[in-house]
Chain A
Amino acid sequence: MRDRELNEVLKRVAVPERGEDYWERFPSQVAAEIKRRRQHSRAVRSADAPVLDAADGSSMWSWASAFLALVRKPAFVLTVAAVCLALGFVLGSWKGLPAPGKDSQLAEAREYFHELEALFPHQLQAIVFDQQGTHLVLAPEPNLPASPPLYLKVCGPKGCQRFVTFSGQQIRVNGDVCDVLAEGRGGVLLVGRQLLWAGAQSSEARGGYRIEAQTLEAHL
């Protein structure tokens, strides 16, 4: 079946007709629902609001009174102190966190992998992220064995490329076709005509390449 024929088949399904009275009624039905929800949220807010004795009706005075009433409560003071301590701890340890760029790249790779693996089960050979965008390498038939996905980042003189691939697949690193092999303990081997690299962590390879390799799932 061609795409054009599929479109013709799909377009044979018409959306069931509704009467004109439905289309006349629907906008006011939505408007009524908006109004109802707004009134409901107002009612909830007013039920939750603290009861204050601001007799003059000034909203600023009401808020000031509410704040003073809260400050007088020991539980409130203790809660504010605990929040400040927690905030100080978080800000203090912030610099120790890994760079957000790396995390977002891994998250992106993970997201692409899960979606594409679902779209093309047993057919996905590699997902390549480079300066030109995201590329997909698929096997002609969906018969690839299941294996844990690997995440590789290769930075060389011409920039960085990132890959999600599998042991036994081939990737093209700046024109050089490399075999990707993984061993049971998480180590990854890259074998090409000009590139030979083995490791599980980020390290330098011959030719000025910097390579990182790890299993993708370990970082999920």
Chain B
Amino acid sequence: MVATGDDRRRIVESQNGDHGAFEALIKQYQRMIHSLCYRMSGSLADAEDLAQETFIHAYQHLDGFRADARFSSWLYRIAVNQCLNWRKRTQRLDRLHQEWGEQDRAPSGADTGRAQQIQDALLKLPPKQRAAVILTTYDGLSHAEAAAALGCSETTVSWRLFAARGKLKRLLKDHVKPKATP
């Protein structure tokens, strides 16, 4: 997969110092990167910081982007690395608890509680396993694409997913809705 024609044009323009072109790239991919960062961190505030750092890093290293790659995969890789290197764990946990209390979310109380338990289960996974689950389950990447984003082999992605799924199944065993009997 290669960068689309629009992406390629905007990348070249950004490399030539056109801020507008880079802002257009951000607009196109910001939701994808925010979602990834939110699922990795469990915090809206940290997701915002991580997404911002991802795009800044991308801008500073645009010369290193190979035109035969997909821009989204390249961004994924930067975002995953930002999330894995993220060291403000204690602060994150404090803010996380605060945010879960403050966020005004639409679902009912029971749904909110369940959603929180699922997000908590994700946060209990080691970061590399969590990244593998997020990229393949939520973002629909193939094992090969996830391997490219994570900078490891497909086999490693499979091992991480296998281990992560085992843990998640144990943690979320009460979340399966019983099938309706006829």
- Chain A residues with a Cβ under 8 A of chain B: 1, 3, 5-7, 9-16, 18, 23, 26-31, 33-35, 37, 115-116, 118-120, 133-134, 136
Contact B56 A15 (CB under 8 A): no
Contact B115 A9 (CB under 8 A): no
Of the residues A6, A23, A31, A37, contact of B30 by C-beta under 8 Å: A23
| B114 CB contacts on chain A under 8 angstroms | 12
Size of the B side of the interface (Cβ < 8 Å), in residues, is 48
Contact A118 B176 (CB under 8 A): no
Q: How far is the CA of A115 from the CA of B152 in the complex (A)?
A: 12
Return the chain B residue nearest A14 by Cβ.
Answer: B115
Q: How far is the CA of A133 from the CA of B155 in the complex (A)?
A: 9
Q: How far is the CA of A9 from the CA of B171 in the complex (A)?
A: 11
Contact B118 A33 (CB under 8 A): no
Contact B59 A34 (CB under 8 A): yes
Contact B175 A13 (CB under 8 A): no
Tell me whether A120 and B176 are in contact in the complex, defined as CB-CB below 8 angstroms, given that A12-B115, A27-B23 are known contacts. no
Contact A9 B172 (CB under 8 A): yes
In the complex, how many angstroms separate the beta carbon of B130 from the nearest chain A beta carbon? 11
Contact B52 A10 (CB under 8 A): no
Contact A6 B35 (CB under 8 A): no
Q: How far is the CA of A30 from the CA of B60 in the complex (A)?
A: 12
* 14 A-B contact pairs sorted by A residue (CB < 8 Å): A5-B176, A9-B176, A10-B138, A13-B115, A16-B103, A23-B27, A26-B30, A26-B52, A27-B24, A27-B26, A29-B52, A31-B26, A119-B160, A119-B162
Contact B155 A134 (CB under 8 A): yes
Of the residues B51, B133, B137, B172, contact of A1 by C-beta under 8 Å: B172
| A120 CB contacts on chain B under 8 angstroms | 163
Return the chain A residue nearest B133 by Cβ.
Answer: A10
Q: How far is the CA of A3 from the CA of B105 in the complex (A)?
A: 28
In the complex, how many angstroms separate the beta carbon of B56 from the nearest chain A beta carbon? 6
Interface assignment of B44: CB less than 8 Å from any CB of chain A = yes
